[in-house]
């Protein structure tokens, strides 16, 4: 499945609202407020739900899109990114997905401000790696942010994860151990 510049495979697949991701995505706390000021959950709690099937997990090695389409795939990939000290890429990507679903102008502005502070600002410890053209476009657009303000940046980060981290993930001990564990469970059943 190919992606248009302003779209992602995930944005069309799941219409759940922002706050429904709280349990599934600890990096996205819910509706940000002036008091919260961040999209990251410092506790880092993970929802313990049903894991992936062997078939689902095996499909992740076939394409990055298949990995990103499933909550279990994103969680496994995020765990891998944490070991590479690049978890902020997934957190940023997910925050952008949630921003695209927002209709309220005030909330769009607030969420865009928080995303900017957490992932775009050069002062942020979780700053994502963007080229100067995209960064400047975002800086100019922050005066009146739209729900698509980060589309170019999100595509850059998606491409970075796809080309850089994803091949290492599919060859990682984390992924191979998961497949081995799921295979053993399938044999036992």
Entry pTM: 0.73
What confidence tens digit (pLDDT) does each residue in 103-156 have?
999 999 999 999 999 999 999 999 999 999 999 999 999 999 999 999 999 999
Q: What pLDDT does 49 receive?
A: 56
Q: What is the mean pLDDT of residues 58-82?
A: 96
List pLDDT tens digits, range 26-49.
333 333 333 233 334 323 334 445
* Domains located in the chain, CATH noted: 18-188 (1.10.167.10)
Mean pLDDT for 89-95 is 98
Residue 120, token pair as written in the block: 């775009």
Write down the pLDDT at residue 51: 85
């Amino acid at each position: 499945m190919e992606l248009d510049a302003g779209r992602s495979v995930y944005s069309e697949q799941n219409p759940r609202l922002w706050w429904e991701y709280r349990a599934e995505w600890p990096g996205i706390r819910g509706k940000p407020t002036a008091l919260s000021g961040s999209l990251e959950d410092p506790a880092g709690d993970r929802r313990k739900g049903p894991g992936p099937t062997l078939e689902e997990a095996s499909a992740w090695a076939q394409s990055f899109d298949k990995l990103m389409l499933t909550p279990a795939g994103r969680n496994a990939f995020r765990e891998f990114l944490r070991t590479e000290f690049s978890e902020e890429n997934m957190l940023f990507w997910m925050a952008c997905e949630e921003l695209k679903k927002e209709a309220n102008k005030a909330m769009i502005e607030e969420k865009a401000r928080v995303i900017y502070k957490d992932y775009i600002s050069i002062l942020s410890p979780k700053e994502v790696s963007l080229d100067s053209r995209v960064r400047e476009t975002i800086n100019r657009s922050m005066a009146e942010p739209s729900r698509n303000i980060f589309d170019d940046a999100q595509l850059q980060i998606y491409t970075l994860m796809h080309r850089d981290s994803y091949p290492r993930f599919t060859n990682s001990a984390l992924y191979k151990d998961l497949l081995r564990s799921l295979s053993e469970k399938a044999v036992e059943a």
